[in-house]
């Protein structure tokens, strides 16, 4: 073979190899070092865990506990058992509770709304205990209520003995559970969640500032909660939104206020820089129609009962592949919302999402004639 042909083939192979190298996605680096006892980065919409370290380790959560307290209070508001305008008489126990304070006074009446602001923005232990006593009669009973709700929503690594997060050997949470409760606060109580972005609150002519330094550093951050005791270290839960992507980060057990803020910012930057979230399908949108036998109609539309989001490494959207698996020989009657298959989303060989396909409308049993005809068709199929 002439040498110039060999050189030409070699040149083509070189450019093909170069093109393949450029097309291959760059490997994602390790998440930044945080110096924390545990951390997690979670995408709010898809639920994907982007990075984690010891996220199932049970640790002292300090005032991060108040996220669970807020969840219980918000549930009581939603159910109509209490209102924001209700007046709460401050007990001596609430007034004497050590730690961060809202500076409420014994015997005075304070609205539920003000107490919530004092708990959320100022992290007031006095306000937190006042709310717990108002809802459950005592803080001990309120802690039992917290544990009941925690079990209902699947917080498998948490247990509460008080509403504030003051140290107790039987009081603990995990980073994974904290991310989950934060997710629920954002999803289920958006009208109250906005308070977590407030930088200051004035009560009794005393102005105090939110200890979450990222509210001043980063406009994309809209919460969530700080925590600190000598034994727990400095903790911070954050949430931020960029380009329609919301991330939640949990950092537990760092050495200082600046360390928890820096670690949280680094984790947010890592998540936003190397990952992207896409909504693939809307809730209730018809993804396909499938045959239904012996029904009043011969087909039923299938879709999802909620939007389907995926979080993937940046630049790999075109590599996504979706497929559906549908039950064989679906026979009427079918109820609306009945699961009739699944939709799977893969990125390469990795299954990154799988959701039930449901019937988007009910299909009643067909007439006698329709059932006879379909029975014959099935027999000869």
Distance in Å from the first CA to the final CA of the chain:
60
Helix 66-79 crosses helix 175-188 at what angle (to 10 degrees)?
A: 30
Which is nearest to 321 in space by CA: 347, 343, 349, 353? 347
Euclidean distance between CA atoms 261 and 212, whole angstroms: 8
Which is nearest to 123 in space by CA: 196, 206, 191? 196
Question: Cis link prior to 333 (omega < 30° from 0)?
Answer: yes
| Alpha-carbon distances of 347 from 274, 313, 351, rounded to whole Å | 16, 10, 7
Q: How many CA atoms lie within 13 A of 295 on its CB side?
A: 19
Q: Residue written as tokens 């989950």?
A: 180
Q: How many other C-beta atoms can be found within 10 angstroms of the C-beta atom of residue 112?
A: 22
Q: Report DSSP state, residue 62.
A: G
Euclidean distance between CA atoms 284 and 304, whole angstroms: 6
Catalytic residues: 63, 66, 123
Residue 197 has phi, psi (to 5 degrees) of: -95, -5
């Amino acid at each position: 073979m002439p040498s110039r042909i060999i050189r030409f083939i070699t040149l083509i192979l070189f450019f093909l190899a170069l093109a393949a190298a450029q097309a291959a996605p760059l490997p994602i680096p390790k998440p930044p070092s945080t110096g924390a006892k545990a951390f997690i980065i979670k995408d709010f919409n898809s639920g994907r865990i982007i990075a984690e370290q010891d996220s199932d380790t049970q640790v002292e959560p300090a005032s991060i506990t108040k996220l669970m307290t807020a969840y219980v209070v918000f549930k009581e508001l939603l159910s109509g058992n209490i209102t924001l305008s209700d007046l709460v008489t401050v007990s001596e126990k609430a007034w004497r509770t050590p730690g961060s304070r809202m500076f409420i006074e014994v015997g005075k009446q304070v609205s539920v709304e003000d107490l919530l602001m004092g708990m959320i923005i100022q992290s007031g232990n006095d306000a937190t205990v006042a709310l717990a006593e108002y809802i459950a009669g005592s803080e001990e009973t309120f802690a039992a209520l917290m544990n009941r709700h925690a079990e209902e929503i699947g917080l498998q690594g948490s247990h509460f003995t008080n509403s504030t997060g003051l140290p107790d050997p039987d009081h603990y949470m995990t980073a994974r559970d904290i991310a989950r409760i934060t997710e629920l606060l954002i999803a289920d109580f958006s009208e109250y969640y906005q308070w977590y972005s407030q930088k200051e609150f004035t009560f009794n002519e005393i102005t105090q500032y939110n200890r979450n330094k990222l509210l001043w550093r980063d406009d994309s951050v809209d919460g969530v909660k700080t925590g600190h005791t000598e034994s727990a270290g400095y903790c911070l839960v954050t949430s931020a939104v960029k380009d329609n992507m919301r991330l939640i980060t949990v950092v537990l057990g760092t050495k200082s206020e600046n360390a928890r803020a820096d670690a949280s910012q680094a984790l947010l930057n890592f998540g936003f820089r190397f990952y992207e979230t896409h909504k693939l399908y809307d809730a209730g949108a018809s993804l396909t129609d499938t045959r239904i036998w012996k029904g009043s109609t011969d087909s039923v539309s299938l879709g999802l009962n909620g939007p389907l989001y995926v979080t993937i490494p940046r630049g790999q959207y075109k590599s996504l592949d979706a497929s559906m698996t549908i039950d064989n020989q679906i026979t009427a009657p079918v109820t609306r919302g009945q699961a009739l298959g699944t939709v799977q989303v893969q990125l390469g060989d990795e299954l990154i999402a799988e959701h039930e396909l449901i019937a988007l409308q009910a299909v009643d049993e067909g007439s006698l004639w329709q059932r006879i005809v379909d029975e014959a068709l099935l027999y000869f199929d």
